[in-house]
Amino acid sequence: MAKLKELLSFINILESWNDRDLDIRGLAYNSRSVEQGDVFVCIKGFKTDGHRYVAEAVKNGAAAIVVEDYQSGWEDLPQYQVKDSRRALAALSDAFYNHPSNAMKTIGITATNGKTSTSFMTDAILEEHGLKTGLIGTVVVKFGDYSEPTKLTTPESLDLHHYFAQMRDQDVSHVTMEVSSSALDLSRVGSVDFDIVTLNNISREHIDLHGSFEEYFNSKASLIRNAGEDKWAILNLDDSYSASLIDETKANVLTFSVETGDGDLVCKDLDLSTGRAKFNVEIRKPFTVEGKTYEPQEFPIELSTPGYHSVYNSMVAITVGLLNEVPIPTIQAGLKGFGGVERRFEMVFEDDIKILDDHFANYGNINVTLNTLQQMEYSNLKLVYAIRGSRGITVNRENAKAIVEWAPKLGLTEVIATLSHSHVDEKDRVTEEELRVFQEMMEEAGIHVDLYKELDDAIHHALSEAEKDDVVLLAGCQGMDPGAKIALEQLNKTRPEMDEEKLFKPLKNRVAGIL
């Protein structure tokens, strides 16, 4: 319960009608979710406009509405006009729940690739230190005994601040969350009090949503640029876009690198021969956090998660750990014990052959994945690629370009491609143009494509040809979500002597592609 006048003091009202103070029971942005005594905030979305549903909201009990455009026909209803109803929703939500993110150390992680893995790594380190943590991201929202799969990388602001409030009430001290570019653009993280922010990398993705790469970068960069003087920003010197923000934030900055050898923290002596990284971290410059000073020193790190990208993700997680005064031995133990996130260069089978499952979302992601493979020891690579559907010609051309560029380095002359027809919804269906641009790129490079309509057939092709010490890479986004399950089920049929419990263990806590 809150007073309407008190809530409204946190937003800029352009004009009001029928203004009066009320007891408010809650907030809603979906008219179907409105309950008696709620304020209904009308949001203009991509597919629909909340202003069209005022009648339904009032029928369900809305006591007042917040609008961008005046709504006639509601002469007795308190109505408040704002410039940006999404921003207003965030501020109202934060106020309604009494500013919950202020009560916790909140860590915001953005990047084109690696947000999920970095968030989980960070959470693992904080949990290893015995802290009570919360995690919000693409795969799951979890805190205490509560856990649920998520639909958005970053929840809508009302839901987000509600999560924060629940966490605060359960005495959570540290929250790690993924922050998507769309969430920044659409004010979903509005009024969140971030203590630590990081931009790890950026490459072409979601260009259609933002209009241009520059706008996409500016959306990501806003997380860093808006950080306050008493906050920390972690930046990657190996990524020119991340590095460019060093002088564009008021926050205290810590930099790191894996390749250039520059920065406050540096990755040294990297060994990826097994696919799982071992390296040393050198703290090159002293820095102080809340009275604790870290002097120049060097310490070893061993990761259980495979992949070159895991090194970058871990450098962020290590830095976050240090900024939260987690002892170095605890950071080492947390990373060693962290088994990874599903579909992020995940080793789902490791015997005479290896089966790897990777999200393979975009040019940058593919580059990092195939760079890791180049550093691994194996005989031949079998690439099963689920072409990315309904993401446009640009993304598919660049994904194909990445494969083409790495093909000669990996000895790849064949790609087993699939449309995953029975495993994707209409919104992820591969269009004729997307298929055409992929095939043209492969043909120009002299790479043979075995194209299958169904994912099951493509995986069967790869497994039937795989020999000792080969790697089968299941690569792709939504179209490859069920890939690991299909591959292990096919192995179970062809290798009945294998222990079923051990074989299917990688699927035990899976969310993607299990149904």
* Residue 163: both structure tokens together: 């999560």
The encoded tokens of residue 173 equal 């001290």
Per-residue pLDDT of the chain (515 residues; tens, 9 = 90+): 899 999 999 999 999 999 999 999 999 999 999 999 999 999 998 678 999 999 999 999 999 999 999 999 998 999 999 999 999 999 999 999 999 999 999 999 999 888 989 999 999 999 999 999 999 987 778 998 887 766 665 788 999 999 999 999 999 999 999 998 888 888 889 999 999 999 999 876 555 555 688 888 999 999 999 999 999 999 999 999 999 999 999 999 999 999 998 999 999 999 998 889 999 999 999 999 988 999 999 999 999 988 898 999 999 999 999 999 999 999 999 999 998 888 888 889 999 999 999 989 888 889 888 988 988 889 999 999 999 998 889 889 999 999 999 999 999 999 999 999 999 999 899 999 999 999 999 999 999 999 999 999 999 999 999 999 999 999 999 999 999 999 999 999 999 999 999 999 989 877 777 66
SS3 105: strand
Long-range contacts of 268-275 (CB under 8 A, 24+ apart): 268/298, 270/311, 272/308, 272/311, 272/372, 272/375, 272/376, 273/375, 273/376, 273/377, 274/306, 274/376, 274/377, 275/306, 275/307, 275/347, 275/354, 275/372, 275/375, 275/376
What's the one-letter identity of residue 120?
A: F
If 0-12 CB within 10 Å is exposed, 13-18 middle and 19+ buried, where does residue 193 land? middle
Tell me how far apart the alpha carbons of residues 376 and 74 are, in angstroms, rounded to a whole number. 67
Residue 207 is predicted with a pLDDT of 53
Going 315 to 316 to 317 to 323, the CA torsion angle's sign is positive
- Name residues whose C-beta falls within 8 Å of residue 122's C-beta, 6 or more positions apart in sequence: 107, 109, 176, 316, 317, 320, 321
> Which residue, 266, 268, 265, 269, is CA-closest to 286?
265
Report yes or no: 167 and 175 within 8 Å, Cβ to Cβ. Answer: yes
Q: For residue 77, count other CB atoms closer than 10 A to its CB.
A: 17
CA distances in angstroms from 96 to 6, 11, 99, 378, listed in the order given: 9, 12, 8, 56
Parse the chain into domains and list their residue ranges: 1-95, 98-335, 344-505
CA 401 – CA 367 distance, rounded (Å): 10
Query: Are 117 and 310 within 8 A, CB to CB?
Result: yes
pLDDT of amino acid 67:
97
> For residue 247, what are the contacts with CB-CB under 8 A and spacing of at least 6?
none
Q: What was the pLDDT predicted at 472?
A: 97
Domain 98-335 homologous superfamily, CATH:
Mur-like, catalytic domain (3.40.1190.10)
- Superfamily covering domain 344-505: Mur ligase, C-terminal domain (3.90.190.20)
C-alpha angle 384-388-393 in degrees, rounded to nearest 5: 125
Closest CA to 221 of 333, 142, 112: 112
Instruction: Say which CATH topology domain 1-95 has.
Output: 3.40.1390
The residue to which tokens 């393979």 are assigned:
360
- How confident is the model at residue 149, as a pLDDT? 67
Query: Could you give the angle at the alpha carbon of 7 between the alpha carbons of 89 and 32, nearest 5°?
Result: 45
Closest to 22 measured CA to CA, from 1, 41, 3: 3
User: What is the model's pTM?
Assistant: 0.78
Would you say the C-alpha torsion 47, 51, 57, 62 has a positive or negative sign? Answer: positive
- Could you give the 3-state DSSP secondary structure of residue 435? helix
Phi first, then psi: what are they for 134, rounded to 5°? -125, 155
Beta-carbon contacts of residue 135 (< 8 Å; ≥ 6 apart): 119, 120, 123, 141, 142, 143, 175, 176, 177
Distance of alpha carbon 298 from alpha carbon 62, whole angstroms: 59
For 383, phi and psi rounded to 5 degrees?
A: -100, 115
For residue 174 the two structure tokens come to: 């540290």
Expressed in percent and rounded to 5, the helix, strand and coil fractions of the chain are 40, 25, 40
Six-digit token pair at 202? 């950026």
| Element of type H or E holding 88 | helix 85-96
Using CB atoms within 10 A of its CB, is residue 415 exposed (0-12), middle (13-18) or buried (19+)? buried
Q: Which amino acid is at 267?
A: C
Q: Which of 494, 497, 468, 472 is nearest to 483 (CA)?
A: 472
User: Alpha carbon 364 to chain centroid distance?
Assistant: 14
The dihedrals phi and psi of 81, each to the nearest 5 degrees, come to -95, 135
Query: Nearest Cα to 313, choosing from 475, 136, 109?
Result: 109
